[in-house]
Structure 1
Amino acid sequence: MPSLAFIITTLVTLASASPVWNSDGDDSWRSRIKNVVVLVEENRSFDTIAGGLTYNTNIDGLLHRKYCNPANVSMPNGATVCAQPTAQNIAPDDPNHGISGVNMEIFSTYHPDEANADAGKLQENMMGFVTEQSSTYKTQNLTRAAEAINYYAEYHVRVFASMAENFVLFDRWFAAVPGPTNPNRAYLTSGTSHGHGRNDAAFNVAALPQRSIFQQLSEKNVSWINYYNSSFAPDSLFYSWTVSSGKNATNVKPLSQFYADAKAGTLPQFTYINPECCSYDSFHPPSPITLGENFIKSIYEALRSSPQWDSTLFILTFDEHGGFGDHVAPPVNVPAGDSLTYTETAPDGKNITFDFKRLGIRVPTLVISPWVEGGKIEKKGRNQGGEYSHTSILAFLAKLWDLDVLTPRVGWSASFEHLITDYFRSDTPEKLPNPYPF
């Protein structure tokens, strides 16, 4: 019979080898995360990228359901088009992802009754993607229109699948705005788009006046760098403060510097990465999936081999769905970042006014660290409003570095510090698979 001392020693060893989730009020996780890296890729929905993942049956994807759209929402009893795992390496078209187009994709109309959203009566049927694709490209070719809802098999996205299987995949993470890139990136970095609902010129001339995460971090003496690989203005340069403070000259650097800093172990406390758009590493059509996969592989492997890996949390997300299909209806009647509204003219010539009180469509999101569980599927959040969105990153950073809450949307968004364990994993892969050769 084993001795009492042996039994006690064994129990202690087993306990120390198991992840312990953070309970409410436990902030010990903050001592384990010293560096946060955020990479915001471009324009793909959850179902498109992650809908075909097979490694966990709890993933709310497309493997165990038949997801179809009517060919024309005005003829609901007519022909239908169903999603297939045959999405192409280079999407033949770039689907509409403006406010009016997304209205059609979600509600099967350009003009959902916003008043009914507050009463919970808004019908988000997620059935308008094929109709919008056919309308945008003026085609009756349903094979071509079906590319808006087709998805990738797991073997097509080897890199993303490997990252998901080894770390934490969110299957209920929504874009902040049911619209295009820059309003979503503004919400992600400041908790509001200041009333901007399209990619207008203000984003290119540092015209946004609100406080951003970059300003907050500087005020707290938390180091940050916005690395970028694009001809477009990186996200920190949306804001007038970045230029007026001179941070545009000191804290905005080319992506090549990221790789050098990661190798040297000199990354700042907060790293924010803008990919190129839209030819070779952003996933945004016509950027090939293979090159997007190779890019996220290069970022991961640079971090994994960095001397800072042991204290790093890497967040990979996509700014918005890019007009590609998803079967999960996004939450409505959520707090906006402020009281400003946005108006645009729909294809039918009528105006749409949007109050930013609805979230955008699901996007694939991963949290990667030696301090998180492998293969975990994270669904709804456990705090604040209970839903994950881009502003969840701001909510998390506010807790990590004692920042104030920028906007009501940030205060509502669920944060994810409970995913950080007290168990350091030594089994995280040093290298990821090469992209699938389409």
Structure 2
Amino acid sequence: MSDVEQNTQEDPIKHVVLLLMENHSFDQMLGCLDVVHKDLDGVRNAAGKSNTDGQGHTFSPRETRERQMKHDPNHEHKAVMAQIADNNSGFVRSFVNDYPHSSIAARQDVMGYYPYGFLPALHTLGAQFTVCDQWFSSLPGPTWPNRFFALTGTSKGQVDMPSGLDALSPHWYTEQDQDTIFDRLNNAREKKTWKVYFYDFPASLLLKNQRRAENLANYHLFDTFFRDAAGSAAEFPNFVLIEPKYFGEAQNDDHPPHNIMKAEKLIADTYNALRSNQALWESTLLVILYDEHGGFYDHVSPPANADAPDDHTTSFDFKRLGVRVPALLVSPWCEPGVCKEQFDHCSLLKYLCDKWQLGPLGARTQAATDIRVALRHRGTARTDTPAFIRVTNQSLIAEHTELERKSSNGNQYGLHHFADHLHAELDQLAAKAVDAATQLARTSNAWVRFKSALGSQVMRFGQWLSQDFYDAKDQRDGRTAQAFTRLRQSVDPTSEPVGNDANATISGAHPPSPD
């Protein structure tokens, strides 16, 4: 028996849940945990570090209780390279470059960190389970390339978000056709089940293979997660990706300027649902991870010893990792404490591929440190884990509601354009199908069946296409959400609608936490 096979047999974890959040650094969110874990590389080690704004002001790491960062710091590749230059001394200067008229307080926010206990979910879980204080994003850059790494082990050479002409026409971001962890699970020797739970529009659809009919069937609204988590542990998926809500006032992905407590609620609700089913809890690993740092300060300089994932290295050699991000391993098989191993997003893929004998996803994944080193697989599951995490309803009320109504960010713009691309493709497909069905109707009654299954959807989305692109923001968000429904119904006309019809339940999908 091989070591891998033996380890797999000893591994009590049957389910892995990845909650992938947005845009915060390790120091900002978890650096305060050095008051709990003395060996954690946190804000205590950042003492004496500083950034200048180039205008005579110096900023050091300092506590903040700001729940809504009013500005969204730049985290494109070029900006991040400037931020991490000279031992991470360029964060504030980068911010001022984009917000030259920003206040001193706003510049200090870039260097701020939350005091211990301020974040009810992250800080409770960080104190009670395993904190990975050397987990870096997979490249110095923004959301999409790092999310590609987290699910596939590569971004195929891409280091930025789409912009300019890239955002207005089909381009590289519509053709991310590399193998994914979902493909590996589908093709495992012993097939593994998986689901993606989402709110409005799943960003993982950017991966081309996810738009196949068999994969679209595994996408479900987040409210069904609670039902599944309360059911039989044997029927719960082996792997789960939870995608937060990216649009609207209830946005909970933790992207500025939305109230960070909404993200805390999502984290708490996810944990509470797993923890309340004892059989599921004792066989599950919850990985809470942020895709990238969002332009916020961290004092640890990213290593430059990474392996390139493949030959797509024209624009960047991919040897430099991105900024350190919050990462927690939550399970009754995780001890309270700190794992000091160097990880990036490929480390989770390494664990999954080795655990279930899936085969590696590229050179970076193959060379990555397996997160297995942070888990214990012998003995019995812990019985001293928190039974429930509370996030008060009062904390969910945003101080600056106008920011949540009006804000837009690069991830939202990109998803809007990608949804438009899907609509355009489906329009062409529908037009071809109508022509074919018309010919078929001459010899059978198939046209009647076709029209009932597809016609109403074509008309509904045709009305959306006739609206001005820059119509009201809620209509823009709704159109993007409906792209998923339309895509799924194009391959399965009997599937239930997901989109604006479900929005009323989406925003209230979380079970209420008692005050």
Equivalent residue for 1:276, pick from 245, 254, 279: 245
5 Å-filtered alignment, 1:107-126, equals: 107=85, 124-126=86-88
Q: For residue 25 of structure 1, report the CA deviation from its aligned partner.
A: 8.9
TM-superposition CA deviations, 1:268-305 (whole Å, max 9, x none): 11111111125531111022111111110000001111
Is residue 366 of structure 2 the alignment partner of residue 427 of structure 1? Answer: no
Equivalent residue for 1:61, pick from 33, 42, 47: 42
5 Å-filtered alignment, 1:353-364, equals: 353-364=315-326
Equivalent residue for 1:228, pick from 198, 223, 226: 198
Moved more, 271-280 or 64-73: 64-73
Paired residues of 2:146 and 2:291 also in contact (CA < 8 A): yes
Paired residues of 1:69 and 1:130 also in contact (CA < 8 A): no
Identify which of structures 1 and 2 has the higher relative contact order when contacts are C-alpha pairs closer than 8 Å and 6+ apart: 1
Equivalent residue for 1:93, pick from 71, 75, 79: 71
One-letter amino acid of the structure 1 residue matched with residue 294 of structure 2: G
Question: For the residues of structure 2 that align with 1:309 and 1:428, how far apart are their CA atoms?
Answer: 10
TM-score of the superposed pair, with normalisation by structure 1: 0.81
Query: Which has the larger share of strand?
Result: 1
Q: Tell me the matched-pair count.
A: 377
Counterpart position of 1:16? none
SS of match in other structure, 1:63: helix
Is residue 287 of structure 2 the alignment partner of residue 287 of structure 1? Answer: no
Is residue 301 of structure 2 the alignment partner of residue 320 of structure 1? Answer: no
5 Å-filtered alignment, 1:335-350, equals: 335-341=307-313
Moved over 6 A (4+): 202-205
Question: For the residues of structure 1 that align with 2:9 and 2:89, how far apart are their CA atoms?
Answer: 42
Counterpart position of 1:411? 366
Counterpart position of 1:378? 339
Identity %: 32
Q: For residue 341 of structure 1, report the CA deviation from its aligned partner.
A: 3.4
**Structure 1 residues 38 and 67 mapped into 2: Cα distance closer, same or farther (>3 Å)?**
farther
Counterpart position of 1:366? 328
Counterpart position of 2:206? 238
TM-superposition CA deviations, 1:245-271 (whole Å, max 9, x none): x13431111111111111113321111
Counterpart position of 1:256? 223
Counterpart position of 2:60? 82
5 Å-filtered alignment, 1:19-30, equals: 27=7, 30=10
Query: Which has the larger share of helix?
Result: 2
TM-superposition CA deviations, 1:65-98 (whole Å, max 9, x none): 425433235x8xx431112111410011110000
One-letter amino acid of the structure 2 residue matched with residue 413 of structure 1: A
Q: For residue 240 of structure 1, report the CA deviation from its aligned partner.
A: 2.1
Question: For the residues of structure 1 that align with 2:244 and 2:312, how far apart are their CA atoms?
Answer: 29
Paired residues of 1:29 and 1:420 also in contact (CA < 8 A): no
Moved more, 403-412 or 417-426: 417-426
Is residue 136 of structure 2 the alignment partner of residue 174 of structure 1? Answer: yes
Counterpart position of 2:89? 127
Question: For the residues of structure 1 that align with 2:203 and 2:186, how far apart are their CA atoms?
Answer: 17
Counterpart position of 1:102? 80
**Structure 1 residues 64 and 106 mapped into 2: Cα distance closer, same or farther (>3 Å)?**
closer
Question: For the residues of structure 2 that align with 1:262 and 1:234, how far apart are their CA atoms?
Answer: 23
Q: For residue 177 of structure 1, report the CA deviation from its aligned partner.
A: 1.3
**Structure 1 residues 275 and 47 mapped into 2: Cα distance closer, same or farther (>3 Å)?**
same
Is residue 19 of structure 2 the alignment partner of residue 39 of structure 1? Answer: yes
Paired residues of 1:226 and 1:234 also in contact (CA < 8 A): no
Paired residues of 2:8 and 2:355 also in contact (CA < 8 A): no
Question: For the residues of structure 2 that align with 1:140 and 1:90, how far apart are their CA atoms?
Answer: 15
SS of match in other structure, 1:159: helix
Q: For residue 431 of structure 1, report the CA deviation from its aligned partner.
A: 0.2
Q: For residue 389 of structure 1, report the CA deviation from its aligned partner.
A: 0.5
Q: For residue 24 of structure 1, report the CA deviation from its aligned partner.
A: 9.4
Q: For residue 421 of structure 1, report the CA deviation from its aligned partner.
A: 3.1
Is residue 343 of structure 2 the alignment partner of residue 388 of structure 1? Answer: yes
Question: For the residues of structure 1 that align with 2:7 and 2:391, how far apart are their CA atoms?
Answer: 38
Q: For residue 59 of structure 1, report the CA deviation from its aligned partner.
A: 1.3
Bigger radius of gyration: 2
**Structure 1 residues 332 and 52 mapped into 2: Cα distance closer, same or farther (>3 Å)?**
same
Paired residues of 1:372 and 1:421 also in contact (CA < 8 A): no
SS of match in other structure, 1:299: helix
Question: For the residues of structure 1 that align with 2:69 and 2:223, how far apart are their CA atoms?
Answer: 28
**Structure 1 residues 25 and 269 mapped into 2: Cα distance closer, same or farther (>3 Å)?**
closer
**Structure 1 residues 336 and 243 mapped into 2: Cα distance closer, same or farther (>3 Å)?**
same
**Structure 1 residues 406 and 240 mapped into 2: Cα distance closer, same or farther (>3 Å)?**
same
One-letter amino acid of the structure 2 residue matched with residue 429 of structure 1: P
TM-score of the superposed pair, with normalisation by structure 2: 0.69
Unaligned runs of 5+ in 2: 400-515
